Amino acid sequence: MKKLSALILFVGASLLYSCSKDNDVSNSGGSSSESKPIAHFTINNLSSPGVVMERKTLDITNDSENAVSYTWEFEKGCISTAKVPDYSFLTCGGPFTIKLTAISKSGESSTYTESVTVLCKTGGAGNNDGVTGHP
């Protein structure tokens, strides 16, 4: 009976030790799962913080991470799936929200939004240069 009790104690301790070891491995980042996406963009041609000019194509840097596809949402339902869209606001005012959703291979998504105010241009030739992405 003492031998059986000792054997059960030994087996139980071995199982407990091996489970602890497995948990340590998975907690250390040993997982093969894909990294989650991180959506982020920068508007490089702001007139001042949070302000863009009417009809001026946005100079956008998409610095999202771990993404394979993108969805941009602009004013009035304008949507783009380009990594870096060509877009300019035709309407003055705001604030208008620009929303980027970055999507990973596994379908996980991350969203980043930024609000801008649009200043009106005053006269001059060439106000329609570079206007794209509108319905």
Residue 130 pLDDT greater than 60, yes or no: no
Say which residue the tokens 């939004």 belong to.
Answer: 113
Q: What is the pLDDT of residue 21?
A: 31
Model confidence, pTM: 0.66
Fold of 41-119: Immunoglobulin-like (2.60.40)
Contacts of 76 (CB under 8 A, 6+ apart): 91, 134, 135
Choose from 73-77, 89-93, 111-115, 131-135 the range with maximum mean pLDDT. 111-115
Nearest to 67 by CA among 31, 100, 97, 44: 100
User: Can you say whether residue 130 is alpha, beta or left, with left for phi > 0 and alpha for psi between -120 and 50 degrees?
Assistant: left
pLDDT tens digits, one per residue of 1-24: 555 444 333 333 333 333 333 322
Residue of higher predicted confidence among 61 and 124: 61
